[in-house]
Amino acid sequence: MKAIETFRDSFKARDLRNKLLFTLGMLVVFRFLAHVPLPGVNQEQLSAVLNSNALLSLLDLFSGGGLARLSIVALGVNPYINASIIMTLLNQTIPALERLSKEGEYGRNKINQYTRILTVPLSLLQGIGVAVFMQRSGVLPEFGPQNWGVTISVLATFTAGTLVLMWLGELISEKGIGNGISVIIFAGIVGRLPQTIGQTFEVQTNFLALGLYILIGIGVIAAIIFIQEGQRRIPVQYAKRMVGRRMYGGTSTYLPLKVNQAGVIPVIFASSLLYLPQLLTQLQGDETGPIRLFFENYIIDQSSPVHIAVYFALIVFFTYFYVSITFNPEDRADDMKRYGGFIPGIRPGRPTAEYLQFVLSRITLPGSLYLGTVAVLPNLLLAVTDSNNNQNFPFGGTAVLIMVGVGLETVKQIENQLRMRNYEGFLR
């Protein structure tokens, strides 16, 4: 009852109500676009391809459900996410971009503009890969050099669909609630959830196994919430200093280091890399060879121990890699030293940077193991139960990771809005 009352209170403030309604309106537009298929698509063959390929189901997860119908937004926000990741990497390696990122709002706007521009060629390249794969699978038989009109229109539609979703996401971030791109992916997962649960009940008739799935689902959600909220708080003390006739500083605060500092970015990286062997084998056509047989039997097969081990190792590696480029201990140490801050017992400057690096490397290990375990959990269940319907496990893996993570962040934003208006909020 308390949650219902709080939800009702969130609609009392006019500006907060407008933000919530605007977000819901944008999601309705997105779901409408996700149900508009491309012309010339063999829907029966598309369903067969998706049911036999769990890796495509994972890509459909990041596309927000558009790939399942090969709709005009089939690529989803994948190219934009990849462009954002590439720009993050470039910011740490190119001095000009690094200086630009430190120029406040102007620098952020310029980097966002470069990210949008980079999204266009990435959308085109990914659209070519998806279209060729679908043509080889018999889903888009008219695509190819024999029909340039259809080919150009398909690629242009894929690219335009991604740009539209990027625009909708930015509108939600600006005028709505939550991070727009994450909310779009969240809406796609939630939209698929009833169908996925229905397929699970159709395939799995063992009530004991269904009960086990539910228990595992509750445990996974609890573990995700626990890790997502976990952080190491490093105490920071600011010395007193005189500026003119006024005294500043002398306060105590803390530097929060999250256990899962990288979010779901490592999972996106790892799944994208594992998609490449699948794409290469499709582009080879009917050719056979030892490399292709190795890929099909060990890398592409989701229940293969080799696939599970490689997937897990890639997630751990990319977690450390992404954290290392997004959190610079030397910059944080310099910022604290500049404003008179220090960690009790640690000298400012290089010793502080070394201490931050030490703590970060230690808490990143459980965060990377947590991400890898949650992501490969459905694959482990497949290997144990020897099931061929790996996409019909709704309570594990990346889907729940994204839903819980985005849900927590969105609720926190609503909570902050309610606290500004003296309401108690969702969280206590």
Identify the bridge partners of residue 37 per DSSP, sorted by sequence position: 71
The first and second tokens of residue 21, run together, are: 């309604």
Handedness of CA 298, 65, 161, 318 (dihedral sign): negative
Q: Domain limits of the chain?
A: 206-421
SS3 134: helix
pLDDT of residue 395: 47
Name residue 308's amino acid. I
10 Å CB burial of residue 55 (0-12, 13-18, 19+) is buried
1.10.3370.10, 1.10.10.10, 1.10.1040.10, 3.40.50.720: which CATH number matches 206-421?
1.10.3370.10
Q: What is the pLDDT of residue 119?
A: 92
pLDDT digits (tens, 9 = 90+) for 297-307: 656 666 677 77
Low-confidence stretches of the chain (pLDDT < 70) are 1-9, 51-59, 61-65, 196, 199-200, 202-206, 240-250, 275-276, 278-303, 381-397, 421-428
183 vs 268: CA distance, rounded Å: 16
The residues near 49 (Cβ < 8 Å, ≥ 6 apart) are: 56, 134, 137, 139
- Residue 269, number of CB atoms within 10 A of its CB: 20
- Per-residue pLDDT tens digits for 235-251: 888 776 656 666 655 67
pTM of the model: 0.76
Would you state the pLDDT for residue 389? 45
Name the phi and psi angles at 45, rounded to 5: -65, -35
Contact by Cβ (8 Å): 3, 426: yes
